[in-house]
Amino acid sequence: MIHNIRNIINPVLTLLYPKRCVACDKVLLKIEKEAGLCRECLKKVKLVGPSYCMTCGTPIANDAKELCGNCEKINHIFIQNRAIFQYTGDMKKAMYRFKYSNKRCYGKVFAMYANRYYGRWIRENKIDAIVPVPMYKKKEKCRGYNQAAVFAKEISALTGIPVADEIVRRDSDTVAMKRLNSLKRKKNLLKAFSLQKNVVQFRKVLIVDDIYTTGTTMDEVAKVLKSGGVKELFGMCVCIGEMQ
Ligand SMILES: [Zn+2]
Ligand SMILES: [Zn+2]
């Protein structure tokens, strides 16, 4: 019986705004709830922009430059990626809780900011579907949810663009990626993803993830989707590396 009740309550709970500040975890005042951040963190948290790399979305100090150092060297498979926060300070802890501590409610706040800063960009690019970067199934079962899928679902709720989370599958459990350098990361990701359909009907897809580091993961998912016929790939992440 208790089990049943939990099943009914859980989906509803994920629709609520967090009661605590997403960044510092302090209880929010009523007027702060909609922002998802307390007054102090609202000032403290580092957003991306106003100057960022036109390709990957990493904030850049020199706004005369169009691309970051990385994108000057690499040709990404995705066209453009955008991110909301710089992955630093309390946002690092926030991402940890979003991933490991069942803070699915953060998804709503992140999607609200994604829509505020990049809603126009999403509309202008005429995105047909949102694909969250998949998690290895066993891992997802163990952890209970895929945070990228949670973020995708909330963006979908705000934009009306459907989530297509069954198209790409993660076939291997990649080792904790942050410990690997770029080359190893790439090798590790080779054939990590596969297409679950012969043909994908969508022309333009937004790939969604929690953290953007080198863009390798996004490129690999983009590659798989391209092989299924998707023409243009875009990306959206909650956090991205600090200013270059
Ligand atoms: Zn706070
Ligand atoms: Zn870049």
Q: Where are the domains of the chain?
A: 43-240
pLDDT on residue 164 = 96
How many whole angstroms from 29 Cα to the centroid of ligand 2?
Answer: 37
Spell out the alpha helix ranges (H) of the chain: 2-13, 39-44, 69-73, 90-100, 106-124, 137-143, 147-159, 182-189, 216-227
Judged by average pLDDT, the poorest of 98-102, 137-141, 239-243 is: 239-243
Architecture of domain 43-240: 3-Layer(aba) Sandwich (3.40)
pLDDT on residue 14 = 45
At residue 7, does pLDDT exceed 90?
A: no
pLDDT on residue 23 = 97
How many whole angstroms from 198 Cα to the centroid of ligand 2?
Answer: 31
Contact 206, 127 (CB under 8 A): yes
Residue 44 CA: which ligand is closest? 1
**How far apart (Å, rounded) are the C-alpha atoms in residues 156 and 225?**
19
Contact 15, 32 (CB under 8 A): no
Contact 107, 210 (CB under 8 A): no
How many whole angstroms from 43 Cα to the centroid of ligand 1?
Answer: 9
Give me the DSSP letters along 185-204.
Answer: HHHHHTT-EEESSS----SE
How many whole angstroms from 144 Cα to the centroid of ligand 2?
Answer: 32
How many whole angstroms from 103 Cα to the centroid of ligand 2?
Answer: 29
pLDDT on residue 176 = 56
How many whole angstroms from 212 Cα to the centroid of ligand 1?
Answer: 23
Strands 168-170 and 129-132: unpaired
What percent of the chain has pLDDT above 70? 87
At residue 4, does pLDDT exceed 60?
A: no
Over the chain, what is the mean pLDDT?
89
How many whole angstroms from 167 Cα to the centroid of ligand 2?
Answer: 27
- What pLDDT, in 10s, does the model give residues 144-155? 999 999 999 999
How many whole angstroms from 76 Cα to the centroid of ligand 2?
Answer: 9
Helix 147-159 crosses helix 90-100 at what angle (to 10 degrees)? 100
**How far apart (Å, rounded) are the C-alpha atoms in residues 22 and 143?**
20
Helix 216-227 crosses helix 182-189 at what angle (to 10 degrees)? 30
Contact 128, 205 (CB under 8 A): yes
At residue 116, does pLDDT exceed 50?
A: yes
- What pLDDT, in 10s, does the model give residues 161-177? 999 999 999 998 765 55
What percent of the chain has pLDDT above 90? 77
Strand order in the sheet with 204-212: 80-86, 232-240, 204-212, 129-132
**How far apart (Å, rounded) are the C-alpha atoms in residues 216 and 18?**
31
Residue 54 CA: which ligand is closest? 2
How many whole angstroms from 66 Cα to the centroid of ligand 1?
Answer: 32
- What pLDDT, in 10s, does the model give residues 202-243? 999 999 999 999 999 999 999 999 999 999 999 999 999 877
Residue 36 CA: which ligand is closest? 1
How many whole angstroms from 179 Cα to the centroid of ligand 1?
Answer: 29
How many whole angstroms from 10 Cα to the centroid of ligand 2?
Answer: 38
At residue 40, does pLDDT exceed 60?
A: yes
Q: How many CA atoms lie within 13 A of 50 on its CB side?
A: 2
